[in-house]
């Protein structure tokens, strides 16, 4: 029986994707109760070749789509997930703590009033990992476990499938885009409809390689410019162009 599903939506970031999967697979402690579903959202780079290398791995299920469905593709991904727990993994997350599956399950059991929890992020001179500053959070401690209650992104974040099913119709009927993303909508619906909080697992970190420095380093700058330009996020486009 599948206990936990890791879902990755990818588009034209094959170098990130390869490093993400290379790090994620050994981070899963109990592989016989886990699955990884990777959906290629109509990539035109070498993503298909990368995914072909993982197709023989029984832990990994590959779904290739000819068209880019944007963030709405998460609706299909969440529907495919068989686990009691679902973990969204961004393809630009390049390192994970060990026994990641057990970590998420343990924390959601301890913090049962939380609907959406994410790993903390490593921050360096090139990225803040997309996490807001410290004053946005307050720490809650239970059983020697710490959660930072506050803004929670979906870089590597977990929720219970049973909770998702309670807000599923509203989720499916909402058009997802950069202004209303899958993680933001989940946080909002879990809070408004189910009175569940969201937060960051304070003491366990992933490396979320977001921002122009890592886009440039891994050769995905043009892809990022296309994404943000099509979303009308011109200030971010300018930031990336200035870096390039």
Per-residue pLDDT reduced to its tens digit, 105-125 = 999 999 999 999 999 999 999
With a cut of 90, say whether residue 232 has pLDDT above it.
no
Q: How far apart are CA 194 and CA 115, in angstroms?
A: 8
Tokens of 157: 């974040």
Tokens of 232: 């009308």
Average pLDDT over residues 173-195: 97
Residue 166: helix, strand or coil by DSSP?
helix
**Helix, strand, coil shares, percent, the chain, to 5:** 40, 25, 35
Average pLDDT over residues 177-183: 94
**DSSP state for residue 208 in the 8-state scheme:** B
72 lies in the same domain as 150: yes
With a cut of 80, say whether residue 2 has pLDDT above it.
yes
* All residues at 6 or more sequence positions from 192 whose CB lies less than 8 Å from its CB, including other chains: none
Average pLDDT over residues 128-152: 98
Question: Which residues pair with residue 198 across a beta bridge?
Answer: 116
181 lies in the same domain as 238: no
Strands (E), the chain: 4-10, 34-41, 60-65, 85-89, 114-121, 138-142, 145-149, 156-160, 197-206
Give the position of tokens 């109990």.
Answer: 30
pLDDT digits (tens, 9 = 90+) for 80-101: 999 999 999 999 999 999 999 9
172 lies in the same domain as 108: yes
172 lies in the same domain as 203: yes
- What does the pLDDT read at residue 230? 86
Which domain covers residue 236, as residue numbers?
215-244
230 lies in the same domain as 206: no
225 lies in the same domain as 163: no
pLDDT digits (tens, 9 = 90+) for 45-79: 999 999 999 989 999 999 999 999 999 999 999 99
pLDDT digits (tens, 9 = 90+) for 194-220: 999 999 999 999 999 999 999 999 999
Q: How far apart are CA 177 and CA 72, in angstroms?
A: 8
pLDDT digits (tens, 9 = 90+) for 126-138: 999 999 999 999 9
Per-position b or e across 48-75, b if 16+ CB within 10 A of its CB: eebbeebeeeeebbbbeeeeebbbebbb
152 lies in the same domain as 58: yes
User: Average pLDDT, whole number, for the chain?
Assistant: 97
> Per the structure, how many domains does the chain have?
2
Average pLDDT over residues 154-164: 99
CATH code for position 81: 3.90.550.10
- What does the pLDDT read at residue 244? 64
185 lies in the same domain as 221: no
Q: How far apart are CA 231 and CA 25, in angstroms?
A: 32
40 lies in the same domain as 126: yes
Question: Which among 225, 231, 224 has a CA at the least distance from the CA of 209?
Answer: 224
* All residues at 6 or more sequence positions from 124 whose CB lies less than 8 Å from its CB, including other chains: none
What's the predicted TM-score (pTM) here?
A: 0.97
- What does the pLDDT read at residue 237? 81
Sequence-separated contacts (24+) of 164-169 with Cβ below 8 Å: 164/78, 164/86, 166/193, 166/194, 167/193, 167/194
Residue 163: helix, strand or coil by DSSP?
helix
Stronger pLDDT, 241 or 162, i.e. the higher one: 162
78 lies in the same domain as 17: yes
């Amino acid at each position: 029986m599948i206990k936990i599903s890791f879902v990755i939506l990818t588009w034209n970031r094959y170098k990130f994707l390869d490093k993400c999967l290379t790090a994620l697979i050994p981070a899963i402690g109990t592989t016989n109760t886990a699955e990884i579903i990777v959906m290629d959202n109509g990539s035109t780079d070498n993503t298909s070749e990368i995914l072909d290398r993982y197709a023989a791995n029984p832990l990994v299920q590959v779904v290739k789509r000819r068209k880019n469905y944007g963030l709405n593709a998460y609706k299909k991904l969440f529907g495919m997930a068989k686990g009691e727990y679902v973990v969204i993994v961004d393809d630009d997350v390049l390192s994970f703590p060990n026994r990641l599956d057990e970590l998420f399950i343990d924390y959601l059991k301890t913090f049962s009033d939380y609907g959406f929890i994410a790993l903390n992020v490593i921050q360096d001179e090139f990225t803040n990992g997309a996490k807001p500053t410290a004053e946005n959070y307050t720490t809650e401690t239970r059983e020697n476990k710490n959660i930072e209650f506050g803004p929670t992104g979906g870089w590597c974040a977990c929720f219970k499938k049973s909770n998702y099913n309670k807000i599923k119709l509203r989720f499916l009927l909402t058009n997802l885009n950069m202004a209303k993303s899958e993680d933001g909508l989940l946080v909002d619906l879990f809070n408004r409809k189910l009175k569940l909080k969201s937060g960051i697992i304070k003491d366990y970190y992933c490396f979320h390689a977001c921002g122009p420095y890592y886009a440039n380093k891994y050769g995905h700058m043009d892809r990022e410019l296309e994404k943000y330009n099509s979303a009308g996020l011109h200030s971010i486009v300018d930031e990336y162009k200035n870096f390039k």
